[in-house]
Chains A and B, each alone.
Chain A
Amino acid sequence: MEAPPVTVMPVTGGTINMMEYLLQGSVLDQSLDSLLHRLRGLCDNIEPESFADHELVYLLKGQQGNPFILRARRSLAHPTAPWHLRYLGQPEVGDKSRHALVRNCVDVAASHSLPDFLNEMGFRMDHEFVAKGHIFRKGVLKVVVSKLSRVLVPGNTDNTEPLSLSYLVELSVLAPAGQDTVSEDMRNFAEQLKPLVHLEKIDPKRLM
């Protein structure tokens, strides 16, 4: 038997051994302005960035084990910008002492031929969506408030339909493995967004 084409071992060593600490929540459309207002007050005093991205999730299935998942993102607002390829590991919930979800995370910029390349490697697209929203920063903390839309006609990002009446709110930090203290900062920040948004560590497995 030949070995599975790709291992799902986490990438270790060097600068790419980064973990993403994540808290998630949502806010109703009608409360969005209040939230943005508060974030503008809480976060670094720079003009908040807006974005419109198209994310394609690719799978590579081996004979056994988990499929290998890669997420390719491109900016709809800046079509000439490089693509963004991201690997996310299995999320770890951990115990109560850690206040955020942790997962392995590898980010790379890629050229525009990324979809072709992935296809040639045997990856297949599993699903796609469009995310539009705003990014705020406060030091290492990153807050993304985005509207998710499903793509009605595959590949046509102009024809989309909102997934729900809410905006997804994600608070994340990229840090080397083991720096669980950042989750403390994240929790403190999340406290300040209540009651507008309840940012929690949500185990995605629970939602399946």
Chain B
Amino acid sequence: MNGDSYQGAQVGANVQSQVDTLRHVISQTGGYSDGLTANQMYSPQGINQREEKQLEASVESLISRVAHLKNSLQSFIYKLENEYDRLPWPSVLDNFALLSGQLNTINKLLRNEKTPSYRNQVIIPLLLSPDRDEELAKLTEQRVPVFSHEIVPDHLRTKPDPEVEDQEKQLSAEAARIGQEVAQKQIQTLNKLCSSLLEKLNSPRDDRDAESSALRQNKQWFNPTDTNALVAAVGFGKGLSKCRPPNSVTPGHPGQAMMSGGPTLQQVTIAGAPGHQTGIGTSVAQQQPGQPGKMPSSIKTNIKSASASMHPYNR
């Protein structure tokens, strides 16, 4: 769609400039030529009044449509160039939709029964001039300043470019070269490919979506148990070996007596956290399953030694 509409749009703009040019030239030359009126310029003599009017009206409406297209193209290009950093994708799509809609209306207009066939109209440049024509430049927004020999063949061209023509010739030559049967076969293969591709594209998208979402839901990204284990490990060393070597990374203290029997970090942090009775209960139960509620031995020793030191004082 992207390439299509853009190309189409270019063609549209081109048509617009051509039409502008022509109208201008026609109106100008109309004055100079002997007795030829503007209408007679682009309608061969002998066309009756009704058809002339129709032609006039259709050209008029075509011009206005093309002008609309040109305006929206301009604004879109402006946006792309100046607001590309904050242009949301949906609005880009909107712009494309607008352009393709406008191109569609132009196509419809051209195919309309009431529109006379432009193909049958003949346009003849009557006056070529190498001088700059301000009026023409203004009409074509400075795109065509001169209506000269150099420019006219390009603007009034009804055939494709020479290169394109060459390519077309090559293609038709090739088409003529391969036999009828081979061509039939190729057409069939292409049709088959296209239909299978269409089928794939049209196959219910919901199916795939449901499948992938189910996959996503089934797939486990994380494990809450692991989360807890890891958090407990960094928090208070749960699950990490309680190593208290005299010289693990600290050589120079080989004979250091370690505090043995003291509560580990896990135990003390629990005891020091007020308001977490359940925590204390469970952890004590875990450590001393057979003696619920019994004080840890180290604390007992502390009490004993304290009372021992107090004893002489009391006496």
Chain A: residues with CB nearer than 8 A to chain B? 24-28, 31, 34-35, 54, 56-57, 59, 61, 65-67, 69, 90-91, 115-116, 119, 124-129, 131, 148, 150-152, 154-155, 163-166, 168, 195-198, 200, 202, 204-208
| B259 A127 Cβ-Cβ under 8 A | no
CB of B268 within 8 Å of the partner chain: yes
| A28 B220 Cβ-Cβ under 8 A | yes
CB of B64 within 8 Å of the partner chain: no
| B235 A207 Cβ-Cβ under 8 A | yes
CB of B258 within 8 Å of the partner chain: yes
| B231 A151 Cβ-Cβ under 8 A | no
| A204 B279 Cβ-Cβ under 8 A | no
| B264 A28 Cβ-Cβ under 8 A | no
The smallest beta-carbon distance between B218 and chain A, in angstroms, is 12
| A154 B259 Cβ-Cβ under 8 A | no
Q: Which of B222, B233, B243 contacts A25 (CB 8 A)?
A: B222
Contacts of B253 in A (CB 8 A): 116, 119
Closest to B242 in A: A127
Contacts of A165 in B (CB 8 A): 223, 226
| A164 B243 Cβ-Cβ under 8 A | no
CB of B255 within 8 Å of the partner chain: no
The smallest beta-carbon distance between B310 and chain A, in angstroms, is 11
Instruction: Give complex CA distance A84, B252 in Å.
Output: 21
The smallest beta-carbon distance between A129 and chain B, in angstroms, is 5
Query: What mask results when residues 266 to 302 of chain B are scored 1 for a CB within 8 Å of chain A, else 0?
Result: 1011101100100100010000000000000000000
Contacts of B272 in A (CB 8 A): 65-67
Closest to B273 in A: A205
Instruction: Give complex CA distance A39, B199 in Å.
Output: 38
What would be 5 A-B contacts, judged by CB atoms less than 8 Å apart? A128-B248, A163-B233, A204-B236, A205-B270, A205-B276
Query: What mask results when residues 221 to 242 of chain B are scored 1 for a CB within 8 Å of chain A, else 0?
Result: 1111011111111111111111
| B222 A154 Cβ-Cβ under 8 A | no
The smallest beta-carbon distance between B141 and chain A, in angstroms, is 42
With A66-B268, A197-B221, A202-B227: A150-B239 Cβ-Cβ less than 8 Å: yes
Chain B: residues with CB nearer than 8 A to chain A? 216, 220-224, 226-245, 247-250, 252-253, 256, 258-259, 262-266, 268-270, 272-273, 276, 279, 283
Closest to B217 in A: A195
Question: Which of B249, B266, B273, B276 is most buried by chain A, counting CB atoms within 10 A of its CB?
Answer: B249
Instruction: Give complex CA distance A124, B248 in Å.
Output: 11
Instruction: Give complex CA distance A205, B283 in Å.
Output: 11
| B245 A154 Cβ-Cβ under 8 A | yes
The smallest beta-carbon distance between A18 and chain B, in angstroms, is 19
Contacts of B263 in A (CB 8 A): 61
| A205 B279 Cβ-Cβ under 8 A | yes
Q: Tally the A-B contacts, defined by beta carbons under 8 Å.
A: 153
The smallest beta-carbon distance between A54 and chain B, in angstroms, is 8
With A28-B222, A155-B248, A207-B235: A61-B264 Cβ-Cβ less than 8 Å: no
| B226 A125 Cβ-Cβ under 8 A | no
| B248 A125 Cβ-Cβ under 8 A | yes
Contacts of A129 in B (CB 8 A): 233-234, 237, 240
Contacts of A164 in B (CB 8 A): 223, 226, 229-230
| A148 B264 Cβ-Cβ under 8 A | no
Contacts of B264 in A (CB 8 A): 126
Contacts of A65 in B (CB 8 A): 272
The smallest beta-carbon distance between B277 and chain A, in angstroms, is 11
Instruction: Give complex CA distance A200, B226 in Å.
Output: 13
Instruction: Give complex CA distance A207, B226 in Å.
Output: 12
With A163-B239, A166-B222: A24-B231 Cβ-Cβ less than 8 Å: yes
The smallest beta-carbon distance between B96 and chain A, in angstroms, is 27
Which 5 residue pairs spanning A and B have beta carbons closest together? A155-B248, A127-B237, A166-B226, A204-B235, A66-B272
Closest to A129 in B: B240
With A25-B222, A207-B235: A152-B265 Cβ-Cβ less than 8 Å: no
Closest to A117 in B: B250
Q: Which of A31, A56, A69, A155 contacts B265 (CB 8 A)?
A: A69
| A195 B221 Cβ-Cβ under 8 A | yes
| B265 A57 Cβ-Cβ under 8 A | yes
Contacts of B226 in A (CB 8 A): 26, 28, 164-166
Instruction: Give complex CA distance A191, B271 in Å.
Output: 35
